[in-house]
Amino acid sequence: MEQVFAPWRIEWVDRDRSEDDEGCIFCRLPEETADRDNYVVARSPRSFVLMNNYPYNPGHVMVIPRTHTGEYAALDEETLLDHARLKQRTFEALDAALGVDGYNAGLNLGNAAGGSIDDHVHTHVVPRWGGDTNFMPVISDTKVIVQAIEDTYDALHEAFANFDDATVPGEGRAVEFEW
Ligand SMILES: [Zn+2]
């Protein structure tokens, strides 16, 4: 069977809530405060970083502008810059936390692109290591995956918190950046 690298197709699945309540998950999660439970690891003024709960590789995150739109062209300049800065921080934090060899990073735009949420723009950031294979078939046990994500969350949180301009508002809360 041909191996296709398509981490963008991995769905973000809301484990605890039904799919059709309360609207857009990417709008709702950054408004909540149970960041560690929600896998929200960092926030900037206009964006946030969410760990994928079905990661293609360890450290698979999404960097998501707070604006609810599926159109990249609809993001204003301030949001574009904020989102780009938070992506820079994300690469640096993943480097420090996981010793990454490389990255694939990209957007799914439009309903033919294969993403699971096409009405709210998000950039997938997938760490790569020499010789890596898709992590999911390797560990298919849900408990092991949750444990792996939580360990990665803590390592990544610590790396984000090490930036000079980072603050952590409390236990279980995401790292915050102001710029
Ligand atoms: Zn939204």
45 pLDDT tier (thresholds 50, 70, 90): very high
Mean pLDDT of 61-69: 96
Rama region for 76: left / alpha / beta (φ>0; ψ in -120 to 50; rest): beta
Quote the tokens at residue 85: 């800065």
Whether 157 sits among the annotated catalytic residues: the reply is no
Cα-to-centroid distance, 122 and ligand 1 (Å): 10
Q: What is the mean pLDDT of the chain?
A: 86
Mean pLDDT of 95-119: 85
pLDDT of residue 22: 65
Cα-to-centroid distance, 101 and ligand 1 (Å): 32
Cα-to-centroid distance, 139 and ligand 1 (Å): 30
pLDDT by residue (tens digit) across 131-161? 887 676 666 777 777 778 899 999 999 999 9
Mean pLDDT of 24-48: 96
All domains of the chain, ordered by start, with CATH?
Answer: 25-177 (3.30.428.10)
Q: Are 162 and 96 in contact (CB under 8 A)?
A: yes
Which residue among the candidates 60, 68, 83, 122 is catalytic per the annotation? 122
